Structure 1
Amino acid sequence: MNKNKLINAYLELMNHLYEAMDDTLHSFADSLEIAKGKISKVSNLTSEELDKVAGFVKRDVEHAAHGLSGSTDNDSLSEWFKFDVQLVENFALDAFLSLADKTRIELAKLEQLATKHVYHSGDITSPGTFICDACGKEIAFKAASEIPECPSCHGNTFVRI
């Protein structure tokens, strides 16, 4: 699989999801399906690749939604990313913040318990800082990226901090 193709698909899916979520009649799940439908019509992604990228986006937005405080400001988002949001490159920050906030509200309405989101080597993710489960090494991304093996121990399981 071409990782740049998946990273671009991740960003496109985020944009379409943002547009679909802008219509408050759609839930996050419905909006994600709408966004996937739009991308499937114009991309050369396989159904498996599209589902994989959608899973990455869903994981990141839900995780951010659980981590954001009630006031969606740059300090709250900076705390989630674990670095200054001004350092985020080539990413629709307003769209991500909006999606995370709307998803946070939706999750609160459903009273879902926060779950530990596990990230694996090869996953595509939004900007953020991750810790290797095996050795504790931190790695940070300032743009949507593919998670590599841990540079210290070659582990492939991470958690976002």
Structure 2
Amino acid sequence: MSNEDPKPHLTEAYARMLERAKEAMESAGKRLEQAVDDARDMAQELGELTREEADLLAAYVKRDLRDLGQYLSGDGEDLGGWFVIDRTLVEARIFDLLASVADKTSLALAEFAAGSREVPSEWRTGEITGPGVLACLECGHTLQMRKAGRIPPCPHCHATRFRREHGTNEA
């Protein structure tokens, strides 16, 4: 079995979707969920993604933003604590995008998280996520995602289910 990502274009599409959602919120004053939906539709219309890929990626972006919103509306002090890992290890583009969304729309993020009854508590192998630390639900081993990408199986026990770690900023 290969560790190669079978669809590497999805990792870049995650960042593009986040960028487009941020722009829609800033320029058109759209709500966060609508901005992500519009970014999803644009990716499909431009032929960058199939409808299935666009829907899946939009769900991943919303999941990560909901989790970020919950973190910031709780006792989360800053975005660095959400990433857990040293900020310098996070892909600058993704950090800047998420920081911009968090800075300009922390209230919108909190409302977005609160509006969802089903905030996912699980991330799975094969899904795309932004940078941060994921902990294996089977053995507790942590996986550092330094940039947006497809979640691999746990390198320790090969399990496929994770939770996002939150903590204090190390940078």
TM tier relative to shorter chain: 0.7 to 0.9
- Output one character per residue of 1:14-36: Cα deviation in whole Å (capped at 9) or x when no partner: 11111011136311111112111
For 1:142 and 1:38, the matched residues in 2 are separated by 27
For 2:78 and 2:109, the matched residues in 1 are separated by 18
Q: 1:98 corresponds to which residue?
A: 100
For 2:158 and 2:111, the matched residues in 1 are separated by 39
Conserved? CA contact 2:41–2:54, under 8 Å: no
Conserved? CA contact 2:79–2:102, under 8 Å: no
CA RMSD of aligned residues (A): 2.6
Q: 1:59 corresponds to which residue?
A: 63
| Partner SS, residue 23 of structure 1 | helix
Number of residue equivalences: 159
Shift in alpha-carbon separation, 1:100–1:58, aligned structure 2, 3 A = farther
Which one is further off, 106-115 or 50-59? Answer: 106-115
| Shift in Å, 1:136 | 0.5
Q: 1:88 corresponds to which residue?
A: 90
**% identical equivalent positions:** 34
Shift in alpha-carbon separation, 1:154–1:109, aligned structure 2, 3 A = closer
| Shift in Å, 1:100 | 3.5
Shift in alpha-carbon separation, 1:36–1:90, aligned structure 2, 3 A = same
Q: 1:17 corresponds to which residue?
A: 21
Which one is further off, 113-122 or 32-41? Answer: 113-122
